[in-house]
Every structure is written in C-alpha cells, then in structure tokens.
C-alpha cells in the first residue's frame, strides 16, 4: 500500500483507508467522521453522500456480510472495534481481490460501489456506520458472498462457528457462483442523430435513447428513468433547425430542447453524481474574428435564437459538478450534411454557389466521439473544451471545392457568394462569419486533433 496525505491505497482498486484525527479528553473523544473539504483535499472522491446508516452489534462476535451494494460508502466505527473485510465483486481482473483490517474510532474506509463489505464485532456494543451516496431500497437483491468462502479465505478472528450471523448470510453463494455487479452504464441521448450514431460506435455498451424512448423535456419521464444504474450521460440530443428556430413554433421547441432539457439533466447529474457530457456550438459567439480562434472562456454573444438557446444550455450544464461541454462547429457525420450535398451536386452536374465569407473548420462526428472518450478516460478537468478537427481554417466554398476535387470533379465549378447575397429573399437565421475555435485547451490534455482535410479525404468517396 501507499500513503498520501494520510490516505492509504489497498489491493482493491478505488478502496481507500483514512486515518482520522480523534480528539480525546476525560469525557471521551470527538472526531469529524465526514469532512468534505478536508477529505477530498486528502484524496477521497467527492462521492456526494445522501444517507447515513448505523448498525448496533450487541455482542462480540456478531458478523455481517459479505454484501456489495450499488453505491459508494464511507464506513467507520462510532463505538467499539471491528475486524472488517472487503472483496471486489466487480467484473474484471480484480474480481475476488481482498483486503481486511481492524477499524476503531481512528479509521474510516472508502468502499467503492460493487465491493463486498463485511465485518465482525470485536467488542460488545459496537456501532458500525455507513455513509452512502444513494438511498437504500428495501427488497432489492445485490451480489453477496459466503463469509466462509475458501477462495478469499478471510481470517476471521472469531471462528464463524462461534460467531452470530444471520440466516441469510449463512446461505450466500461461493465466489465461483457470484454474478459480478455490472458497472454503471453510459446513456446516449439523441442516438439517431449524426453525433449520436458516432457516439454509439465509440461506446458500444451504452444505452441508446431518442425522443420516443426518453423525452428530455418531460419531467415525469426524467423522474421515472433508473438513473441509479448510470454513471455517464452523453447528451447528443439537440434542436438543430437553425432557421426554423426563428419561427414562433421553432423558438419554443429550441428553448425546450437546447436549454430546458440540459438544465434538467444538470440537476439530475448534480443530485446523482453523474458525469454529464453536453455538446455545444460556435453559434454561441457572434462570429467576430479572433486571432487563434474563439477560446472556451470567451463571453457569449449569440446572433440568433439557436445560438441563444445553446448558450443557455451551456450555462445550465456548467452547474453540474461533473460536466464536460464540448463546443464544436460545422459537424459532419452520417446522414444529410454539407459534404454529402456537395457530393451529390457534383455527381448530378450542378454547379453550386457557396458562401466564401464564413470561415471555420469541419468537425467529423468520429472526432467528437474520440475526444469524448479521451476526456472521460483520462479524467481531464471538468469544464468546457473546444473540439473540432485541426488544420488551416477554410470557408464553406473552400471545402466545397475540396469535395468536388476529391470526387473527381472540376473544383472550378464551385462559384462563390457572400452570406448577405445568399440570404437575400430568404428567412434565415444570422450565421457567425468566423467560427474557428482554439484547440489549445484540448491539446493540453494530450489529445491530438486530426486534420480536417485528411479526415475529409477519408470521408469523401465517389457516389455510385
């Protein structure tokens, strides 16, 4: 084991032992059994406890466990002393890993979700305390293990034949018969969209939902969802009809999907300790030219309703303690998009006029999904990150010419117009002219962004 700031690691991944300061005098002793600021600073996770349970063990030899509940807990002794033991009942290479120690008023142990917990009272009148981060659900069955399992071979100080145990604990299965507790799941919302499809490929074990499976604008549907089974939410659901958002009906729909729904998810994430990943847009800025591109901390200045609703969603998501906002631009994935449109026009003999005064970088959805995986796997600091493909910023007309050339057509067939000329006589939302996002913060986490033109070449194939 290693010790840092008074916190000891153990052979069971994520399980930590903390030595507590106990203040004694003639009257007895006092200790801070849970002190969030100090304990988090020392190295314990900020696991968000919501319930404290106490167990009185009247006689020496009372033995309880081995139970693995689907929540994290900080265990300690209020009065007395126990021999405590833990067995990792999570799937993976550490399944069956064990650790045991004596606990008195000086010791607390952080036990991760899925690790089986057991103890034996060593003195009469011992009170054992569990501080947990989910509410107990009577009648629910969780993995349990035989106290006398020969594989883990826990050295109980008081032989189990002489100990007092419950009838239930005497019938728990052996380690070979235990079904490991499944890890918390990942939820992908908006799974049928371009980004949702890419996220589903990157996170193949995730639960996939769209509006018909989980309506994020319906409070009753959100309340009924089994959030206790999830650890990460990837919110790819959004209202992206930029021009229709300027209409009365579209405005209401955009605010519901892009602002109210993320706000509801943020409240759930904060309450449940979930990691919430949300996807934003360059439309939260006004498109002013910024040397090096728009940074994550640039003040919002959206030009239209779509940008306003997305900015509101960003602000709401930032209230969740464990959040990532991935801000992106010019998204290209599966389905209808700018590149596919240009491919079809080239193949059909149509010579398009494309705006040349809007400048930015393409973002392929697999790049967004790859960045999502990177931030989660590396435990990068929570917050907002710009995510696009890298390379020289181009105009839409530049990218159109690239598509024509890549598909074997003359790029000179693409003519140019200004945004003002293109919008003449149309009911369009204003577009930001400069959409390039600065990627320095993402690069500092170790992520290497892929060049947009290289990605475009791989994505673009001649249409049959």
Nearest to 261 by CA among 332, 316, 209: 316
Helix (H, G, I), strand (E, B) or coil at 189: strand
- The secondary structure of the chain in percent helix, strand, coil, rounded to multiples of 5, reads 30, 25, 45
Q: Given 128, 130, 324, 459, which residue is catalytic?
A: 130
- Following CA atoms 196, 200, 201, 205 in sequence, which dihedral angle do they give, to the nearest 10 degrees? 170
Nearest to 410 by CA among 419, 399, 421, 401: 401
- Determine the Cα–Cα distance for residues 462 and 346; give it in Å rounded to an integer: 10
Catalytic status, residue 323: no
Radius of gyration of the chain (CA): 28
Q: What is the DSSP string of 11-79?
A: SSTT-EEEEPPEEEETTEEEE-S--HHHHHHHT-------EEEEEEE-STTBEEEEE--SS-EEEEEEE
- How far is C-alpha 193 from the chain's CA centre? 19
DSSP tag of 265: H
- Determine the Cα–Cα distance for residues 104 and 447; give it in Å rounded to an integer: 45
> Residues near 16 by Cβ (< 8 Å), separated by ≥ 6?
7, 8, 9, 10, 43, 44, 109, 110
Task: Say how many CA atoms lie within 13 Å of 176 toward its Cβ.
Answer: 2
Catalytic status, residue 67: yes
Structural element, H or E, at residue 270 = helix 261-272
Active site residues: 67, 130
């Amino acid at each position: 084991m290693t010790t840092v700031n008074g916190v000891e690691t153990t052979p069971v991944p994520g399980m930590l032992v903390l030595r507590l300061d106990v203040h004694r005098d003639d009257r007895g002793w006092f200790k801070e059994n849970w002190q969030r600021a100090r304990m988090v600073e020392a190295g314990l996770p900020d696991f968000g406890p919501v319930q404290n349970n106490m167990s009185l063990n009247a006689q020496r030899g009372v033995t309880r466990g081995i139970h693995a509940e689907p929540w994290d807990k900080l265990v300690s002794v209020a009065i007395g002393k126990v021999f405590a033991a833990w067995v990792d009942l999570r799937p993976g290479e550490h399944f069956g890993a064990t650790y045991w120690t004596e606990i008195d008023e000086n010791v607390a142990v952080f036990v991760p979700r899925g690790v089986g917990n057991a103890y034996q009272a060593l003195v009469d009148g011992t009170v054992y305390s569990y501080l947990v981060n989910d509410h107990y659900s009577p009648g629910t069955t969780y993995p349990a293990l035989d106290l006398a399992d020969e594989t883990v071979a826990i050295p109980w100080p008081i032989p189990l034949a002489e100990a007092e145990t419950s009838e239930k604990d005497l019938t728990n299965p052996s380690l070979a018969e235990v079904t490991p507790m499944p890890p918390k799941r990942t939820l992908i919302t908006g799974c049928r969209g371009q980004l949702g499809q890419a996220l589903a490929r990157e996170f193949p074990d995730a639960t996939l939902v769209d509006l018909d499976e989980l309506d994020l604008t319906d409070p009753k549907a959100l309340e009924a969802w089994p959030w206790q089974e999830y650890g990460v939410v990837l919110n790819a659901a959004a209202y992206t009809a930029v021009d229709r958002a300027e209409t009365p009906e579209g405005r209401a729909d955009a605010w519901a999907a892009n602002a109210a729904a993320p706000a509801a998810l943020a409240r759930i994430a904060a309450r449940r300790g979930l990691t919430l990943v949300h996807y934003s847009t360059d439309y939260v800025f006004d498109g002013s030219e910024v040397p090096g591109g728009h940074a994550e901390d640039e003040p919002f200045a959206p030009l239209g309703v779509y940008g306003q609703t997305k900015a509101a969603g960003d602000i709401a998501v930032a209230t969740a303690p464990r959040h990532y906002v991935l801000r992106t631009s010019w998204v290209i994935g599966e389905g209808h998009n700018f590149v596919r449109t240009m491919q079809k026009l080239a193949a059909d003999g149509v010579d398009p006029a494309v705006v040349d005064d809007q400048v930015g970088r393409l973002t392929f959805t697999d790049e967004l999904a790859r960045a999502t995986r990177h931030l989660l796997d590396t435990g990068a600091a929570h917050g907002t990150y710009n995510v696009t493909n890298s390379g020289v910023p181009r105009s839409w007309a530049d990218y159109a010419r690239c598509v024509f050339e890549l598909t074997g057509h003359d790029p000179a067939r693409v003519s140019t117009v200004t945004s003002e000329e293109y919008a003449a006589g149309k009911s369009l939302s204003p577009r930001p002219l400069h959409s390039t996002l600065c990627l320095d913060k993402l690069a500092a986490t170790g992520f290497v962004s892929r060049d947009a033109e290289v990605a475009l070449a791989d994505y673009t194939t001649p249409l049959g």
